[in-house]
Amino acid sequence: MPETKFRVVNQTLGSQPKIGPFPADQILPWTVIAITNTLFFYYILNIGWLATLFTTFWGWATWWFVSTNKSFLGKFVGTPRISRGYMPFSSLLNPPRDQIKKRKKY
């Protein structure tokens, strides 16, 4: 039988939805953060647009950092490299009985 190869027609199938370069699931929370920061920092505290924009960007970054689809901090933790080892495990807290007997000889 000949091997059939499938041709990808739509490359965005199965990928995360985006609106431009921004993830679609972040648009609504970022809008709420921007409106809240603008009302609080600019209109109530009167600290100016630069500080308001800084706090808005900080809020966006914090929300993106915490609301990742993986586990918390999952984007930034590298995958561990697993290798096969042949050394027996020796716990520092609970050493095996034969090591305790060897230490007690005076």
- Distance CA(68)–CA(66), nearest Å, equals 6
- The pLDDT of residue 32 is 92
- The pLDDT of residue 55 is 93
- The pLDDT of residue 37 is 92
Residue extents of the structural domains in the chain: 37-63
CA 38 to chain centre: 27
Indicate left, alpha or beta for 60 from its phi (over 0: left) and psi (-120 to 50: alpha). Answer: alpha
Residue 46 burial (CB count, 10 A): 8
- Distance CA(35)–CA(65), nearest Å, equals 19
Query: Where are the extended beta strands (E) located within 20-101?
Result: 22-23
Residue-level pLDDT, tens digit, the chain, 106 residues = 567 676 767 766 667 777 777 777 788 888 999 999 999 988 988 888 999 999 999 998 888 878 766 555 555 656 666 666 667 777 777 766 665 555 555 5
